Amino acid sequence: MSTSALTRHVHVLAPAGERHDEILTPAALDFLGHLAAAFGTRRNDLMRERRRQVLRLASGSPLDFPMVTSAIRADPSWRVAPPAPGLSDRRVEITGPPDRRMTVNALNSGAAVWMADFEDATAPTWNNVISGQLNLLDAIERRIDFTTPEGKEYRLGGQLATIVVRPRGWHLDEEHLEYDGRPVPAALVDFGLYFFHCAQRQIDAGQGPYFYLPKLENRYEARLWNDIFVTAQELLGIPRGTVRATVLIETITAAFEMEEILYELREHSSGLNAGRWDYLFSVIKTFGHRTDFLLPDRAKVTMTAPFMRAYTELLVRTCHKRGAHAIGGMAAQVPDKDPAAHEAALAKVRLDKEREAEDGFDGSWVAHPALVPVCREVFDDVLGERPHQLDRTRDDVEVTAADLLSVRRISGPPTMEGVRTNVAVALRYFAAWLRGQGAVALYGLMEDAATAEIARVQIWQWLRHRVIDRETVLGLLDDEAAALGAAYPWADVQAARTLFERTALAAELPLFFTPDAYARHLVRRTEARA
C-alpha cells in the first residue's frame, strides 16, 4: 500500500523509543488512521450499548437466546471457514505476553499455537505495546535471538508454534496515539500494527494473520471485527478470508450468542475458546446485585460446577456443529521447586485436560512451557493422529438459558481464607501491573488481569450482600499491604492499595480496573511528534 493511498493521519503522543520508528512508520500510522476513521464511531456506539445492557439486566430484564436470530441457529447449512495453514491441529496452545524472552520460549515450547497476548497478560505501557510489535516482527524475520546480561542465550529452534495475536479489548483506548483529537481504540492499534507489518510476511511464510478476540459481548461486536478484517485485507491487497479469528467466550452475554458470533465471523472464524476467570468476572458484573448469584471462594468454583459445565458443553456443541475448533481453558500452574508440589500441580493439570479432551475440545491452553508435554499427552491419547475431533458433534448436549444461569446451585458465602486470598492476589497483581508487568507468578500460578478482576469483584459482591464487612476487608488490606512491602521493596504499595480501594470497595462497581488505572499510572504523553 502506498502512503498516498490514505489521507488519515494518526499523531504519536509518546516519547520516541529504540526502534519504535520501525513500527510507527508513516504508512502504518495512516493505516491505523483509516481504521479509526472507518470504525471508531461504531466502536463507541457499541460501548454505549454495553452500558445500556448493564442497566437493562440490572433492572430485571431476562437474559435469553435472542429470538430475532433463531433462524441462524436453526439453519443447519452454514459453516465457518476451513482451518487455515498452521491452525488445523491446535491440541496445545501456550499463552503469554510478547516480551522478548517469552516470544522465544513460547515459539520453541512444542505447543502448536502461541497466543501473543497484548491484552490481559500485558500491562499496556507504551514500551510494552511497541516492543511487543517489534518482537513479533523480529520473530517472523527470525532475528530475535539474544543473550541476557547474565549470559543466558535465547535462540529460535526449527519447529515453531503458530502465532495468534490477542489485541486489547474494545473497552480500552491507546492514549499515546490520537486520531481526529481522540485516542485510537487500543484494539485497532494492536490489530492494525501487527496486520500492517506482519500479515504478508506470515502469508509468505505459509501461514497468515491470525487473532484471538477478547471480551466480546454480542454478535454486533463480532460483526464489527469482521468488517475490520474485510477492510484491512482490501487496503493491503490481501485476499478476503485470509484472516482467521478465534473468539474468547468470556462474557455471560456472549454465551447466549455463540452461534451468532460464529455466523458473523464465519468467513474469518477459526473457533471459540472458554475463558474461565473472565467468564466468572462477567457473571458477577452482570448479576452481582442478585443474591442467587452470590459466588463462594474462587477455588470452589471449578469447571465442574453445573453452570460452567453448561457453558463449556454448549461451546463444544456449537463449534463442532459449525466446523469450528473448540479450545479449552487455561492451565496456569508454574513449576515448583518442591518435587511433590510439582507432581501435584501436574496431576491437577492432567485431570483438567482429560475432562476437556473427553468433552470434545480440540485443544487447550497452558501458561508455561513445562505444561506443554502433559497437555499434549492427554490430547494425543484422545485424538491420536487426528488433528482435531470436529466429528464429535455432541448432539447429546441440550443447554437452556436456565442451565447457563444456574449459579444458585453452588452459591454461598466465602470463607475468611477466600477473602484474604482475593485481597492478597489483587493487591500483588496491581503492584506488578503498575510497574509494567502483566503476567505474574502468584502462589504457584501464572496470573494475569483476569485473576485480579475476579478477585476484586468478588470482594465487591461479598460486601454488597453483607456476607463480609468493610472493616474486615480493610484489616486484611492492612496486613497484605504490609506483607507486600516487606517482600517486595520496589512495590508502590500505596498506589496498589488505592487501586484496590477504588475498584473493589466503591459503592458502584467499575466495569474494568484497567482503563482508569492505565490513564492514571501508565500514560506518558508528550507533544505530538508525527
Query: What are the catalytic residues?
Result: 166, 448
Q: How many CA atoms lie within 13 A of 413 on its CB side?
A: 9
**Other CB atoms within 10 Å distance of the CB of residue 159:** 8
- Residue 416's Cβ-count burial label (10 Å; 0-12, 13-18, 19+) is exposed
In angstroms, rounded to a whole number, what is the distance separating the alpha carbons of residues 200 and 237?
Answer: 9
Does residue 223 contact residue 269 with C-beta atoms inside 8 Å?
no
In angstroms, rounded to a whole number, what is the distance separating the alpha carbons of residues 516 and 498?
Answer: 12
**Other CB atoms within 10 Å distance of the CB of residue 388:** 24
C-alpha cell at 383: 485424538
Per the listing, cell 481464607 goes with 417
- Residue 402's Cβ-count burial label (10 Å; 0-12, 13-18, 19+) is exposed
Does residue 286 contact residue 54 with C-beta atoms inside 8 Å?
yes
Can you count the helices (H) and strands (E) in the chain?
19, 15
Encode burial over 22-44: b for 16+ CB neighbours within 10 A, e otherwise: ebbeeebbbbbbbbbbbbbeebe
In angstroms, rounded to a whole number, what is the distance separating the alpha carbons of residues 134 and 66?
Answer: 42
Q: Nearest to residue 373, comparing CAs of 112, 155, 159? A: 112
Instruction: Show the beta-strand stretches assigned E in 180-280.
Output: 182-185, 210-213, 244-249, 269-274
Long-range contacts of 153-160 (CB under 8 A, 24+ apart): 154/100, 154/101, 154/104, 154/105, 155/104, 156/104, 156/107, 156/108, 157/107, 157/108, 159/110, 160/107, 160/108
